[in-house]
Amino acid sequence: MSFSNDVRHEISTSVNDKDRRFACLYGMLLFCRTLTSGHICFQSESRTSAELFSGLFEAVFKYKPESGEHTRKNGAVLHTCDVYGEKAAAVFQKYRLAENKREIDSEIIATNSLGVFTAGIFLACGSVNDPSKEYHLEFACPEEGLAIQLMTLLSDIGVTAKTVLRRGQHIVYIKGSESIEDTLTFIGASQCTLELMNMKIYKDIRNKANRIANCDAANIDKVVKAAMKQIEDIKLIDRAVGLDTLSEELREVAQLRLDNIDMSLQEIGESLSEPISRSGVNHRFKKLAKMADELRNGGAV
């Protein structure tokens, strides 16, 4: 099941009293595919949305819409609910709908039902991406005026939304994870909000772990390159003058490096007959490097 369907299912379980049914159905009707006084058609690829529309319509109008299914070319099943004639006209009268212009009438929605009205809009034309992939929630509005009103409604709850025209539809979309969380909570999908928040925490931890791993890998590469340079210098000195010409302290650190390419400076310091600090070991390798450079330049150590 997709994250969008999880949201729809959670919403459907919360529409459980007269005012909420009335407000949710209003949102679904106002943003549905076809809305005229002679024909109302609600369409959705979500069976949950279609079944809820049918159930709400029957509860409010004591009439069950005609239901159908149509398989699209891409294999998706489109669920439809149709209302015709007098029944459609009764909807226009009860919700004070205009024939040629869709417009949200906040006066017919109880204040405490504004969230469930917006939930109805989501059920009619909304979708939200899987938060493990992308933070994106959108509403495909049937008219520009409705898109503008929806943006205003979302702005009133502190959610920043934008619009774009896509294939003739006015899309109201939300990108920020916090704005999506606020929207889902507002429309009654609090469990899905928690799921999104948990996913955000997981992604944050995973990204931090990746950054640490990348940093560790870079540090390992740096240590290996330094060790290879030290071994190159030591072998040059050995070929040119022999390690036995070195002082005891330089000869011991040189031999430890030849035998242990993966040892850190600190580990080398701790392994000496007389342990010294990391900086002390580094100082000795600098002396060896200086000797090797002098030999490369034709000088004598």
One-character DSSP codes across 198-259: HHHHHHHHHHHHHHHHHHHHHHHHHHHHHHHHHHHHHHHHHHHT-GGGS-HHHHHHHHHHHH
For residue range 4-15, list pLDDT tens digits in order.
Answer: 999 999 999 989
Categorise residue 97: left if φ over 0, alpha if ψ from -120 to 50, beta otherwise: beta
> Which pLDDT belongs to residue 142?
92
Contact by Cβ (8 Å): 151, 163? yes
> Which pLDDT belongs to residue 86?
94
| Total-model pTM | 0.71
CA 12 to chain CA mean position, Å = 24
Residues counted in the chain = 301
> Which pLDDT belongs to residue 296?
84
How far is the C-alpha of 43 from the C-alpha of 53, rounded, in Å? Answer: 10
Which one of 9-13, 16-20, 260-264 scores highest in mean pLDDT? 9-13
CA contacts within 13 A on the Cβ side of 49: 29
- pLDDT exceeds 80 at position 278: yes
Contact by Cβ (8 Å): 43, 33? yes
3-188: in CATH 3.10.28.10: yes
Work out the number of other CB atoms within 10 angstroms of the CB of residue 66. 12
> Which pLDDT belongs to residue 224?
81
**113: Cβ contacts below 8 Å, ≥ 6 apart:** 19, 20, 22, 23
Identity of the residue numbered 161: A
Long-range contacts of 172-176 (CB under 8 A, 24+ apart): 172/138, 172/139, 172/141, 172/147, 173/136, 173/137, 173/138, 173/139, 174/136, 174/137, 174/138, 175/135, 175/136, 176/135
Give the domain ranges of the chain.
3-188, 218-296
Contact by Cβ (8 Å): 234, 254? yes
Average pLDDT, the chain: 90
For residue range 186-237, list pLDDT tens digits in order.
Answer: 999 999 999 999 988 888 888 888 888 877 777 777 888 888 888 888 888 8
